[in-house]
Amino acid sequence: MNRILTAIQAAMLAVSLTGSPVSGADAAAEQLPCPAGDVNLDGRVRVEDAQLLLSGYAQTLVGKPSGLTEEQLALGRVTGVNDAEIALHDCQAILMYSVRTMIGYDGEAPEVFYARFAAPLRTEPEIPQERFDQFAQYQSWASETGYPAGCLTANGAAGINMDYFHTPQDAAGYLSGRIVIGDSRCCQLGIYETRTGRDDFAAFGVWGGHYADGTSLPILSEALLADAEQCFRAQIRHCGRCAVYLFATVNDYDYTAGNHTAYIRSAVAAAERLADLSCTFNGTVYHPKVTVIGFDGCGKTGTVFGVPQAQFNRYVDDYNAALKNAVQESSLPAQNAALFRTVPEITGGQTAFISDNLHYADDTLVSITKHILSSQPL
């Protein structure tokens, strides 16, 4: 260990005192394809590469361009931790590899060595060991975990109705490059992430919320939009991307007469407003990539709040078809509008519900999470 530390210190000191001299052998190496980690493009991976990448990283921390070309940035992204911007993990990996070669450990290709620093493989979403099959379990979670942890904010309505779920800024999912927005079913997605310790996305949802005007806490009120915008900006600065999944809400669905025009207009307007958000970082203007997701109604047996399921579900397909058409005619970029999906499509028509016959069961939350991870419209 002391030998490695001494080599690191000596290498960094040598670079700071002498710069980057190029020998005849080095000049010849420059004619060969650059290996991963060769940020200064001289054909070898050395301490100077780590120092150059670290200098660029320091520039980005204060909002300035890194000063590196796209080729240099591509060669510097060796660990897969961040595929859009420089990561400190990359600097460390390149430095450690260069030091190994300096002290004689030169029998390993750089790509093999960097694999040890790579981001851990993401595990597949799974149904938690303790399933949430009862609505009462969500109420208990709110009291025991949600409110104390600060990820659920009470808004004065009965029970958890109209409460606001928001992924905390110190949670890993806050910087994941993905955001989900919607009603209580999106709250469920955020709660699933919390229950399982996952970091797939940040969630912003209002339990019982609406996109339509006139409700006590609209899903996209000015305050909630500001929270989503702050998360979007943080994700851009962290990983250079942000995909937003806006879920249509069952609360904005007229099961009595199928009159959905105003509700759909409100949902699409919310999507367009999110898509108009912008963030300038390192000279590039970013917008969130917004995808709209249609909903499923209620369970296919029994009743929901006393309404027979057949009556409640009779206009769901009409709603989703009209929503899809409105999304395709909206100002959303065509490539994002084309990604429109419905929850029944995501679950293969096997959407499962909890005891109230309205909110999604864990099986469905897992299917939706897998869809978000696999689609990634980044």
User: Residues 176-188: pLDDT tens digits?
Assistant: 899 999 999 999 9
Is 191 found in the same domain as 284? yes
- What is the C-alpha separation between 177 and 338, in angstroms, rounded? 20
Predicted pLDDT of residue 19: 43
> In terms of C-beta distances under 8 Å and separation of at least 24 residues, what long-range contacts does 13-17 make, across chains too?
14/47, 15/47, 15/48, 15/51
Q: Cα 69 vs. chain centroid, distance in angstroms? A: 26
User: Given 88, 117, 146, which residue is the final one in a domain?
Assistant: 117
Is 160 found in the same domain as 94? no
Contact 167, 190 (CB under 8 A): yes
* Any domain includes 126: no
Q: Which residue has 């799974």 as its token pair?
A: 126
Length of the chain: 378
Query: What is the percent of the chain where pLDDT is above 70?
Result: 83
* Any domain includes 124: no
* Any domain includes 125: no
The yes-or-no verdict on residue 18 having pLDDT over 50 is: no
C-alpha angle 150/155/156, rounded to 5°?
130
* Any domain includes 307: yes
Is 201 found in the same domain as 94? no
pLDDT tier, 107 (very low <50, low <70, confident <90, very high otherwise): low
Predicted pLDDT of residue 306: 92
The yes-or-no verdict on residue 23 having pLDDT over 50 is: no
Predicted pLDDT of residue 81: 58
pLDDT tier, 216 (very low <50, low <70, confident <90, very high otherwise): low
- What is the C-alpha separation between 291 and 336, in angstroms, rounded? 6
Is 254 found in the same domain as 336? yes
Is 209 found in the same domain as 312? yes
The pTM of the whole model exceeds 0.85: no
Predicted pLDDT of residue 8: 44
Is 306 found in the same domain as 264? yes
Predicted pLDDT of residue 16: 46
3-state secondary structure of 46: coil
Is 144 found in the same domain as 103? no
pLDDT tier, 121 (very low <50, low <70, confident <90, very high otherwise): low
Predicted pLDDT of residue 375: 77
pLDDT tier, 105 (very low <50, low <70, confident <90, very high otherwise): low
Predicted pLDDT of residue 255: 94
Token pair of 260 as six digits: 């959905």
Predicted pLDDT of residue 122: 60
Q: What is the mean pLDDT of the chain?
A: 85
CATH at 151 = 3.40.50.1110
Is 285 found in the same domain as 141? yes
Predicted pLDDT of residue 97: 85
Taking only the tens place, the pLDDT of each residue in 300-320 is: 999 998 999 999 999 999 999
Query: Who has greater pLDDT, 150 or 118?
Result: 150
Task: Domain of residue 39: give its range.
Answer: 2-117
Query: What is the percent of the chain where pLDDT is above 90?
Result: 55
User: Given 68, 83, 117, which residue is the final one in a domain?
Assistant: 117
- What is the C-alpha separation between 162 and 217, in angstroms, rounded? 7
Please state the rounded mean pLDDT for residues 68-77.
Answer: 89
Is 96 found in the same domain as 140? no
The yes-or-no verdict on residue 10 having pLDDT over 70 is: no
Considering only 14-23, 87-96, 170-179, 183-192, which range has the smallest mean pLDDT? 14-23
Question: In terms of Cα–Cα distance, which of 346, 359, 354, 358 is closest to 320?
Answer: 346
User: Given 53, 85, 117, which residue is the final one in a domain?
Assistant: 117
* Any domain includes 127: no
Is 366 found in the same domain as 284? yes
Is 364 found in the same domain as 226? yes
DSSP codes, 209-248: --SSTTSSS-TT-HHHHHHHHHHHHHHHHHHS--EEEEE-
Number of structural domains the chain divides into: 2
Contact 205, 182 (CB under 8 A): yes
Is 207 found in the same domain as 113? no
